[in-house]
């Protein structure tokens, strides 16, 4: 059977070379298997036949049984149109064609019963239907048809060239006639029985020609499960292979660095979540396989200390460690934070970024290579070929979604045995998405904040309340606190945004005049040195208010700043709002986040404001964000390759995703290489898929 599915699409009756070329270019359909896996994106109920006197002007698609009793050509300003009078026992309506008139005129049979289908519109009290689909009643009754008519994904070009939904439907019918719907079962009997899934060929038939709504639902469930199951098999296998094949350095001992830091120099007690995560990391690094772990923790949950203690383990075992961050500001901040924490331990820690002077660079390169440099913190500069390690044992990557996979692997290749890898992110990734994007990494979560942190109070205020908000700011400054005021920056209308920022800055400077108040400003058009000096002034408490664009989203730590005001908050995404809010609440004082918006808010904006004021939980916020924006947007395009799903939807089908993952884990536990007799078909399909990106060509 599978050989027939490999047939090039132009050989299907009714396709031919020209249509085949179009299908290839527009839809990526090269062979029979691709067409079978072009799934409808909705269905129209064709069980109901309307009478002409029942029609309403709703622009809905309807089907009517009747006869054409008259046909004429009408001249109009540009060209002409063909108009037919269509009647049933309750009344008359008009059918109109603007194209293909000659063919229709020659082929239309008068006074013969047709079933017509299309959208009706009313004009001067009479209904008409433009370019209806028409079928002789006799043919209509014989066709391989279903109550629920499928509507397939299409493109403008396909429609222009006459490859309408009806034509695709006809091709699909032809395909099922030629293949006799004999599709090979791909899932093991045990799973089919346990989940009561319908067989493969029944599912494929009913996704294209549903016999009933119930069978359609069963077909969709079966095919969604299958798609997600094979993706999970791939990800989990990748993880297992790495654990078994990719050797790592086992860090067997816990030595002086780690114990003396833990016993004598911890600035605060670790939370239970931090202890749990450290234990997971220690177990991983104690094994002779490479660790690949994703560490998720909300802003301020204490990932830095976990990172440092993991590095100390590497040092205790005679290895070096590195930490790579996406921006200089962030690398700098890590460097200051870690140097401060590790000061009593007498460790050589250096910073390497684009701004590092040539002389210092040379020293760093030498010390890295001879092993006297223990910990290096840096940006992409760490990936340069000149950077060679003596023995890198642990690589920590911060805010992973800003680095491509190739960049990560460059770090691994700097050693014969790859280092353990810890990926950190403060962007909480919903569980569902994490299972798909990072299904091949083990995941650790720090889900509690350090003691003494008070939850940030978040409120939503309209522009009309600005005077009250300004009074609140004056009171907070009176208590010795500092304030952030952030403006959106969206590239499309940078001029407008820049103006917003400058207008804002001027009016704030007027409302908070010198010498009593002092205002800093930071934005993307400033030179790095100017930015740094303004940031420094704010950090040192020389200015009370920092007016900024989202430059400060990542990597500013001023414990004394207790109020974050976000202007035009409706123009920010949820994850950005959450990241910005995380800039305050770093000291012992109660902190506040004020979301300022105009009165006109879209539904999505209302949901975002409501979510922010209701919860501080980054994971809950990420789930809402995922629902609003969809998976592709959330991770940026480079990450969404794997999410190019044909039928499943990671957000709507998250229960099926969890079920699929559960069964994939269970199966691989019992039979990691899929060699048991009952798993052989599965194994073959899996091998085919692993060679290619597009899963569906092979599941058939």
The yes-or-no verdict on residue 532 having pLDDT over 60 is: yes
Distances in whole angstroms, Cα of residue 590 to Cα of each of 68, 302, 454: 78, 19, 6
The yes-or-no verdict on residue 554 having pLDDT over 80 is: no
Provide the pLDDT for residue 173.
93
Provide the pLDDT for residue 641.
39
pLDDT band at 145 (very low <50, low <70, confident <90, very high): low
Provide the pLDDT for residue 367.
96
Q: What is the mean pLDDT of residues 27-41?
A: 92
Provide the pLDDT for residue 496.
55
Q: What is the mean pLDDT of residues 506-534?
A: 88
Provide the pLDDT for residue 630.
66
Q: Please report where in the chains the tokens 């040539």 appear, as a residue.
A: 358
List every span in the chain annotated with CATH 2.40.50.140: 47-144
**Residue 125: phi, psi to the nearest 5?**
80, -5
pLDDT band at 146 (very low <50, low <70, confident <90, very high): low
DSSP state of 502: H
Question: Which region holds residue 630: left if phi is over 0, alpha if psi is between -120 and 50, else beta?
Answer: left
The yes-or-no verdict on residue 401 having pLDDT over 80 is: no
495 versus 479: which is more confidently predicted?
479
Provide the pLDDT for residue 700.
39
Q: In what order do the strands lie in the sheet with 292-297?
A: 349-352, 375-378, 320-324, 392-398, 420-425, 292-297, 442-446
58 versus 425: which is more confidently predicted?
425
pLDDT for 368-398, tens place per residue? Answer: 999 999 999 999 899 888 999 999 999 999 8
Provide the pLDDT for residue 498.
62
106: tokens are: 């020659």
Q: Please report where in the chains the tokens 């409808």 appear, as a residue.
A: 40
Q: Which of 444, 428, 452 is nearest to 576 (CA)?
A: 428
245 versus 40: which is more confidently predicted?
40
Contact 74, 121 (CB under 8 A): no
Query: CB under 8 Å to 695, separation ≥6 — which residues?
Result: 227, 230, 231, 646, 689
Provide the pLDDT for residue 308.
96
What share of the chain in percent tops pLDDT 90? 51
Contact 486, 548 (CB under 8 A): yes
pLDDT for 562-596, tens place per residue? Answer: 999 999 999 888 988 998 898 888 777 899 999 99
Q: What is the mean pLDDT of residues 117-139?
A: 88
pLDDT band at 455 (very low <50, low <70, confident <90, very high): confident
Provide the pLDDT for residue 556.
64
d(CA 611, CA 621): 7
d(CA 464, CA 461): 8
List every span in the chain annotated with CATH 3.40.50.300: 256-446, 457-615
Provide the pLDDT for residue 637.
35
Q: For the whole model, what pTM was predicted? A: 0.65
pLDDT for 341-362, tens place per residue? Answer: 999 999 999 999 988 999 999 9
685: tokens are: 């399909």
The yes-or-no verdict on residue 338 having pLDDT over 60 is: yes
The topology (CATH level 3) of 457-615 is Rossmann fold (3.40.50)
d(CA 466, CA 481): 19
The yes-or-no verdict on residue 243 having pLDDT over 70 is: yes
Pairing of strands 61-75, 113-123: antiparallel
Provide the pLDDT for residue 437.
65
Distances in whole angstroms, Cα of residue 304 to Cα of each of 256, 270, 316, 558, 581: 20, 12, 18, 16, 19
CATH 2.40.160.50 given to domain 47-144:
no
The yes-or-no verdict on residue 439 having pLDDT over 80 is: no
For the ranges 21-25, 264-268, 319-323, which has the lowest average pLDDT?
264-268
The topology (CATH level 3) of 256-446 is Rossmann fold (3.40.50)
DSSP state of 108: P
Provide the pLDDT for residue 553.
47
Q: What is the mean pLDDT of residues 251-258?
A: 93
**Residue 68: phi, psi to the nearest 5?**
-90, 120
Q: For the chain, what is the mean pLDDT?
A: 86
Numbers of helices and strands, H then E, in the chain = 27, 21
HEC string of 87-108?
A: EECCEEEEEEECCCHHHHHHHC
pLDDT for 600-644, tens place per residue? Answer: 999 999 999 999 999 988 888 888 888 887 665 544 433 333 456
115: tokens are: 């079933």
């Amino acid at each position: 059977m599978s050989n027939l599915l490999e047939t090039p699409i132009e050989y299907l009756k009714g396709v031919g070379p020209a249509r085949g070329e179009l299908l290839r270019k527009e839809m990526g359909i090269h062979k029979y298997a691709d067409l079978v896996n072009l799934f409808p994106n909705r269905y129209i109920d064709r069980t109901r036949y309307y009478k002409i006197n029942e029609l309403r002007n709703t622009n809905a698609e309807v089907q009517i049984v009747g006869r054409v009793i008259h046909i004429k050509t009408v001249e109009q300003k540009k060209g002409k149109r063909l108009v037919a009078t269509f009647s049933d026992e309750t009344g008359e309506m008009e059918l109109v064609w603007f194209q293909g008139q000659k063919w229709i005129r020659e082929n239309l049979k008068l006074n013969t019963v047709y079933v017509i289908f299309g959208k009706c519109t009313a004009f001067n009290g009479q209904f008409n239907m433009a370019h209806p689909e028409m079928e002789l009643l006799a043919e209509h009754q014989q066709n391989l048809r279903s109550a629920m008519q499928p509507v397939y994904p299409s493109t403008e070009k396909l429609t222009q060239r006459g490859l309408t939904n009806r034509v695709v439907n006809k091709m699909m019918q032809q395909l099922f006639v030629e293949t006799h719907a004999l599709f090979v079962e791909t899932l093991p009997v045990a799973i089919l029985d346990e989940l009561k899934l319908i067989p493969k060929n029944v599912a494929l038939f009913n996704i294209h020609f549903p016999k009933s709504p119930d069978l359609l639902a069963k077909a969709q469930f079966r095919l969604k499960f299958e798609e997600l199951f094979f993706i999970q098999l791939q990800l989990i296998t990748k993880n297992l292979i790495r654990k078994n094949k990719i050797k790592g350095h086992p860090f067997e001992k816990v030595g002086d660095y780690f114990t003396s830091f833990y016993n004598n120099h911890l600035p605060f007690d670790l939370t239970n979540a931090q202890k749990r995560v450290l234990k997971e990391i220690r177990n991983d690094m104690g094994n002779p396989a490479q660790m690949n772990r994703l560490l998720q923790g909300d802003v301020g949950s204490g990932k830095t200390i976990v990172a440092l203690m993991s590095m100390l383990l590497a040092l205790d075992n005679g290895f070096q460690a590195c930490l790579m961050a996406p921006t200089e500001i962030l690398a700098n901040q890590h460097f200051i934070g870690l140097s401060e924490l590790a000061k009593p331990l007498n460790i050589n820690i250096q910073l390497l970024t684009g701004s590092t002077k040539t002389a210092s660079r040379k020293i760093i390169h030498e010390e890295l290579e001879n092993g006297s440099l223990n910990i290096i913190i840096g940006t992409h500069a760490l990936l340069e070929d000149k950077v060679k390690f003596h023995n890198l044992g642990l690589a920590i990557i911060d805010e992973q979604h800003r680095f491509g996979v190739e960049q990560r692997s460059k770090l691994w290749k700097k050693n014969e045995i790859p280092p353990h890898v810890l990926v950190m992110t403060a962007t909480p990734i919903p569980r569902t998405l994490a299972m798909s994007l990072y299904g091949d990494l083990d995941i650790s979560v720090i889900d509690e904040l350090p003691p003494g942190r008070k939850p940030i109070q978040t409120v939503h205020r309209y522009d009309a309340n600005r005077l009250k908000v300004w009074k609140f700011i004056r009171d907070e400054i009176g208590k010795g606190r500092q304030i952030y005021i952030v403006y959106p920056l969206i590239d499309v209308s940078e001029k407008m945004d820049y103006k917003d920022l400058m207008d804002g800055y001027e009016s704030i400077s007027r409302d908070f005049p010198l010498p009593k108040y002092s205002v800093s400003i930071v934005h993307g058009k400033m030179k790095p040195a100017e930015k740094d000096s303004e940031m420094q002034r704010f950090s040192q408490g020389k200015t009370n208010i920092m007016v900024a664009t989202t430059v400060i989203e990542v990597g500013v730590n001023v414990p004394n700043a207790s109020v974050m005001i976000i202007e035009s908050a409706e123009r920010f995404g949820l994850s950005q709002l959450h990241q910005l809010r995380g800039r305050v609440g770093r000291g012992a004082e109660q902190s506040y986040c004020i979301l300022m918006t105009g009165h006109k808010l879209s539904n999505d904006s209302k949901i975002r404001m409501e979510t922010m004021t209701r919860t501080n939980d980054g994971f809950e916020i990420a789930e809402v964000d995922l629902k609003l924006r969809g998976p592709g947007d959330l991770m940026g395009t480079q990450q969404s390759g794997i999410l190019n799903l044909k039928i499943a939807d990671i957000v709507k089908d998250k229960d099926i995703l969890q079920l699929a993952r559960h069964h994939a884990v269970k199966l691989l536990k019992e039979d990691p290489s899929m060699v048991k007799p009952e798993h052989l078909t599965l194994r073959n399909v899996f091998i085919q898929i692993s060679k290619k990106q597009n899963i569906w060509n092979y599941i058939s």
